[in-house]
Chains A and B, each alone.
Chain A
């Protein structure tokens, strides 16, 4: 990425996650969207889709949200994948680049999921090494996202919020705070989501938060009859997550907010409607912040 301001910086407005089935419509109609976010792994081997994305890039600010860097890998990150990402960054000049506090590569095998790691000092050092290596290779800061969790390791000695805050402090990366993931993880651990968000607010420097994510999730029953929330990005944002989002905005201020929807993909107009709901809350938060200031 070119040093200094990107050509199209990401505004503190609601953006939309762009998926391949919507390419044709976005190219043909150029629908309203404050900014777009894509998974760069979908464009690393697909020259046709990449050419389409380049055309869209001329009209929309762009964020690259990776899923394959495996920042939590104890064995380190894959230099070849970083190189592929770097080529995309140089070509697309995104305003934001991000990935997750998770791992997906082990023993040369790639597992398409964001897998959990124990929050230990050893893991913290590994993640900081990996993040630093990626940032050095890309020549820019990246944001690291809190994952949705279904497992908690007995060896974890550091609370998740403090862990990610430490990664940001030590490596200079930013934080992508996924509000839906906080809700899903808290629910699955039988914790009050508002309390968990307060922990995040306490742990994180607001200046380190570069982006917020919103998404829908599914509720399923386990074999023992308990409910489990699955971060499948396949539905509207639920009221509880909207409330959590308002709480996050009140603390962190207006931040670029992305609407994610990856499965059971609806019409683009539905994503625009969801983004409008987020924008209304952003506008309200900005008005309240202005009122407090005067």
Chain B
């Protein structure tokens, strides 16, 4: 019966009517169960990829979701973990070639949904680095760093706000984008980062100290006038890291 419920064609969907004896034909009951299974899987994907759903439209999304469900049905009952490779699937789906950013948008949505299921840890609770002058930076957890070529955060915001004007104003020229996503009590926060900030954070979350994180941030960074490392770090912190909301500054000893 499982195969009959997932089969895409009439021949595969059929089961011998001699197997059934109810008031309705077996095909009627099978259709009910098929609709329930495919509908539930499409809805689970819709919850994980709401911006993709709005972008391509409900009918088109359902077509993609049903084909995905038939090809890659879930392995476990926790449907909020279903759809990890849906982005790659829809990027190769017929008709999506006109949306070159679709893959990255869906990948961003998956990361967003995954973070939304995380519990916001009280008191930040992530890695900490100590700076000179007795300053300690306490970073938040969970936080994820994400790289993309398209402005996926702006795209998602505009789509979810149903703001056609904002959507139309987004520059879709591919260029390197770095994003930080983190869980707060109110939901998932997102911030665009420079390449240097992204490198700095990656190093911090990999367990490196302030000097190591600064060295990572400086790799390949353009430094007109070759500003000293301390100045570069101060600029990075003041302009990007500290205002972002995912770091808490304390004195290194106490408080």
Taking the closest CB of chain B, its distance from the CB of A49, in whole angstroms, is 7
Q: Are A189 and B22 in contact (CB under 8 A)?
A: yes
Q: Complex Cα distance A230/B39, Å?
A: 14
Any A CB within 8 A of the CB of B79: yes
Q: Complex Cα distance A49/B187, Å?
A: 12
Q: Complex Cα distance A50/B78, Å?
A: 13
Taking the closest CB of chain A, its distance from the CB of B28, in whole angstroms, is 5
Taking the closest CB of chain B, its distance from the CB of A172, in whole angstroms, is 24
Any B CB within 8 A of the CB of A226: yes
Q: Complex Cα distance A226/B79, Å?
A: 33
**Given A41-B79, A111-B5, A152-B20, does the pair A51, B73 have CB atoms closer than 8 Å?**
no
Q: Are B24 and A48 in contact (CB under 8 A)?
A: no
Pairs across A and B, CB under 8 Å, 23 listed: A46-B117, A47-B118, A48-B117, A109-B75, A110-B75, A110-B76, A111-B6, A111-B73, A112-B41, A112-B44, A113-B33, A115-B33, A150-B32, A153-B21, A154-B18, A154-B20, A154-B21, A155-B19, A188-B22, A188-B24, A222-B24, A226-B24, A228-B32
Taking the closest CB of chain B, its distance from the CB of A204, in whole angstroms, is 23
Any B CB within 8 A of the CB of A67: yes
**Given A109-B2, A222-B24, does the pair A153, B19 have CB atoms closer than 8 Å?**
yes
Any A CB within 8 A of the CB of B1: yes
| CB-nearest residue of chain B to A42 | B80
Give the total number of A-B pairs whose CB atoms are below 8 A apart.
Answer: 111
Any A CB within 8 A of the CB of B174: no
Q: Are B21 and A152 in contact (CB under 8 A)?
A: yes
| CB-nearest residue of chain B to A70 | B77
Q: Are B29 and A113 in contact (CB under 8 A)?
A: no
Any B CB within 8 A of the CB of A81: yes
- What is the interface of chain B mostly: helix, strand, loop, or mixed? helix
Task: Name the B residues within 8 Å of A188 (CB-CB).
Answer: 22-24
| CB-nearest residue of chain A to B115 | A48
Task: Name the B residues within 8 Å of A152 (CB-CB).
Answer: 20-23
Q: Are B30 and A151 in contact (CB under 8 A)?
A: yes
Q: Complex Cα distance A251/B25, Å?
A: 34
Q: Complex Cα distance A108/B24, Å?
A: 30
| CB-nearest residue of chain B to A155 | B19
Q: Are B22 and A109 in contact (CB under 8 A)?
A: no
Residues of A96-138 whose CB lies within 8 A of B:
104-113, 115-116
Q: Complex Cα distance A189/B41, Å?
A: 28
Residues of B101-130 whose CB lies within 8 A of A:
116-120
Any A CB within 8 A of the CB of B36: yes
| CB-nearest residue of chain A to B2 | A106
Q: Complex Cα distance A223/B63, Å?
A: 22
Any A CB within 8 A of the CB of B56: no
Q: Are B77 and A41 in contact (CB under 8 A)?
A: yes
Q: Are B117 and A81 in contact (CB under 8 A)?
A: no
Task: Name the A residues within 8 Å of B20 (CB-CB).
Answer: 151-154
Q: Complex Cα distance A230/B116, Å?
A: 33
Q: Complex Cα distance A116/B23, Å?
A: 15
Q: Are B78 and A41 in contact (CB under 8 A)?
A: yes
Any B CB within 8 A of the CB of A216: no
Task: Name the B residues within 8 Å of A110 (CB-CB).
Answer: 73-77
**Given A110-B73, A189-B22, A222-B24, does the pair A44, B78 have CB atoms closer than 8 Å?**
yes
